[in-house]
Amino acid sequence: MPRTPRPRSYSDVQREIGNRIRWARELVIPNRAEFARLEEIDPSTIAKIESGTRPPSVFNVIGFARRLRVSADYILFGSMRGVDSELAALLALHHPELVRKTDTRPGHTGHTDPEDGRRQPPTRLAR
The pLDDT tens digits of the residues spanning 17-65 come to 999 999 999 999 999 999 999 999 999 999 999 999 999 999 999 999 9
Contact in structure between 71 and 38 (CB atoms under 8 Å): no
What's the predicted TM-score (pTM) here? 0.74
DSSP 34-98: HHHHHHT--HHHHHHHHHTSSPPPHHHHHHHHHHHT--HHHHHH---TTS-HHHHHHHHHH-GGG
Q: Which residue ranges make up each domain of the chain?
A: 9-102
52: alpha, beta or left? (left if phi > 0; alpha if psi -120 to 50): left
CATH number of 9-102: 1.10.260.40
- Is pLDDT of 114 > 70? no
The helix (run of H) or strand (run of E) holding residue 8 is helix 8-28
Query: What angle is formed at CA 75 by the lines to CA 110 and CA 113, rounded to 5 degrees?
Result: 30
Per-residue model confidence (pLDDT) at position 12: 93
